Amino acid sequence: MMLPLTTTPTTRNRWLLMVTAGLTAAVLTACGAPGQPGTSGEGASTDDETSSEPFKVGLVYSQTGPLATYGEHYMAGFEVGLDYATDGTGEIDGRPIEVTEADDAGDPAKAVSAATDLIGQGYQVIAGSTASGVALQVAPLAEENEILFVSGPAATDGVTGINDYTFRSGRQTYQDILTAASYVGDPAGKAITVFAQDSAFGQANAAAVTAVLGGAGATVSQILVPPTATDLTPFALQAADASPDLLFVAWAGTNATQMWQSLDQQGAFDASTVVTGLDITATYPVFAPVVGELQFLSHFFPGAGDNEAYAALEAGLAEQDLLPELFTNDGFVAAQMIVHALSEGGDDVDAMVDALEGWEFTGPKGAMTIRAEDHATLQPMFTAKLVDDGDALTAELIDTLDPEAVAPPVATP
């Protein structure tokens, strides 16, 4: 998935996030949940001396750095999700939820330092992790210190099953790749080519496609373009000549428009089904040269959902003059998960973990399940296309894939 054209948000230091009612009153929808957010379950503290103390939640995410826009969207979704999950109170049984934000700038070392500091102050819940490298470094802290960690937009499969105290509010790479594969059906016997830059990002995507679809019987090849290449024509011609059943493009370079033009000019779209990840709306103009020819896998986009939680997200963001974005869902769901964990577990982290394992609920995307065995978050995924509405390019839903259809295998230690 291509990186967005990022902007750097102003760093915010809100030590106490008391969300006021601004949405239509809504209660977190849960299927088979052992309680409702905002009310104590069996694990909740009943000690009169502590019952009024705030629940402390630390959010360590990218406020600055290359993924700052992703982080901004995640935080906006979290704020709306917290309002939704607490029915506009920002509290659980009269105990306010105190949220402290810390900037990791996409740097694992900074994230570990910030998380360690928060844990040292007594925080039992940490969330965030915009970047995969950050999540993989913060997750071990959860196990070492026995605190709850809810990873965010970080897509690395390595977070799933890493330890008993780590969960995720977003999707993982395996789910992305199975969504892309849906365009060609059963991967067995199919030829699939990964077209990407020869960078850590491109190599990771090539390795993931090889592991997931190659493991399902597809023949996977790769075309890795040097990041310094100025003439992309030879590589685009190579992709067209290969004529795979699926050309999976994972491009994070600033020359994306040139890349799409080259693939188009060399006939790659006539030779193959070309699929890539749909990024944030600011990147849509990059795809202008190939609108109508390019297919997208998607984690989330404006209009993808159609339920009470999505309506609440959309309305809450509108109050901030924002629209649903790629990772606003991950922030919203993180808030739902944290409120549920605190409602059922109180100050007992192990009880929080028990409350989340196997929990079924409805997020903005639809039906969600936290798989008890490895804490994978089973969720719908989407295929989409971009259409020109005369003023701008907008995303249009093609299909919603059932959570089980894109479920990763159970991760084993």
Asked if residue 179 and residue 165 are part of one domain, the reply reads no
Q: E strands along 273-413, which residues?
A: 273-277, 295-298, 360-363, 366-370, 377-378, 381-388, 393-401
Taking a C-beta distance cutoff of 8 angstroms, is the pair 110, 63 a contact? Answer: no
Q: Residue 95's domain spans which residues?
A: 30-171+303-379
Percentage with pLDDT > 90 across the chain: 83
Asked if residue 182 and residue 34 are part of one domain, the reply reads no
Write the pLDDT tens digit of every residue in 313-364: 999 999 999 999 999 999 999 999 999 999 999 999 999 999 999 999 999 9
The stretch 61-82 carries a mean pLDDT of 96
For residue 149, being part of any structural domain is answered with: yes
Asked if residue 135 and residue 54 are part of one domain, the reply reads yes
Asked if residue 392 and residue 357 are part of one domain, the reply reads no
Write the pLDDT tens digit of every residue in 135-194: 999 999 999 999 999 999 999 999 999 999 999 999 999 999 999 999 999 999 999 999
**Where residue 19 falls among pLDDT bands split at 50, 70, 90?**
very low
Asked if residue 272 and residue 180 are part of one domain, the reply reads yes
Buried b (16+ CB within 10 A) or exposed e, 71-110: bbbbbbbbbbbbbbbbbbbbbbbebbbbbbbbbbbbbbeb
Give me 410's structure tokens: 């159970």
For residue 319, being part of any structural domain is answered with: yes
**Where residue 123 falls among pLDDT bands split at 50, 70, 90?**
very high
Choose the weakest-confidence range: 21-25, 76-80, 92-96, 127-131.
21-25
Give the type of residue at 274. V
Domain total for the chain? Answer: 2
For residue 411, being part of any structural domain is answered with: no
For residue 10, being part of any structural domain is answered with: no
**Where residue 52 falls among pLDDT bands split at 50, 70, 90?**
confident
Q: What is the pLDDT at residue 51? A: 67
The half-sphere exposure of 96 on its side-chain side, counting CA atoms within 13 A, is 9
Asked if residue 361 and residue 387 are part of one domain, the reply reads no
Residue 201 has pLDDT above 90, yes or no: no
The stretch 260-283 carries a mean pLDDT of 96
Q: What is the pLDDT at residue 169? A: 98
Residue 128 has pLDDT above 50, yes or no: yes
Choose the weakest-confidence range: 59-68, 163-172, 246-255.
246-255
For residue 18, being part of any structural domain is answered with: no
Q: What is the pLDDT at residue 46? A: 43
CATH number of the domain where residue 235 is located? 3.40.50.2300
**Where residue 40 falls among pLDDT bands split at 50, 70, 90?**
very low
Asked if residue 332 and residue 285 are part of one domain, the reply reads no
For residue 36, being part of any structural domain is answered with: yes
Give me 34's structure tokens: 């052992």
Asked if residue 203 and residue 154 are part of one domain, the reply reads no
Residue 25 has pLDDT above 60, yes or no: no
Q: What is the pLDDT at residue 225? A: 96
For residue 413, being part of any structural domain is answered with: no
Asked if residue 120 and residue 39 are part of one domain, the reply reads yes
Taking a C-beta distance cutoff of 8 angstroms, is the pair 274, 294 a contact? Answer: yes
Give the C-alpha separation, 125 to 127, whole Å: 7
The stretch 119-128 carries a mean pLDDT of 98
Residue 410 has pLDDT above 50, yes or no: yes
Residue 267 has pLDDT above 70, yes or no: yes
Computed over every residue of the chain, the mean pLDDT equals: 88
Asked if residue 402 and residue 282 are part of one domain, the reply reads yes
Asked if residue 311 and residue 164 are part of one domain, the reply reads yes
Q: What is the pLDDT at residue 39? A: 39
Taking a C-beta distance cutoff of 8 angstroms, is the pair 352, 345 a contact? Answer: yes
For residue 325, being part of any structural domain is answered with: yes
Q: Which strand (E) or helix (H) includes residue 167?
A: strand 166-168
Asked if residue 313 and residue 290 are part of one domain, the reply reads no
Residue 274 has pLDDT above 80, yes or no: yes
**Where residue 405 falls among pLDDT bands split at 50, 70, 90?**
very high
pTM equals 0.85
The stretch 128-134 carries a mean pLDDT of 94
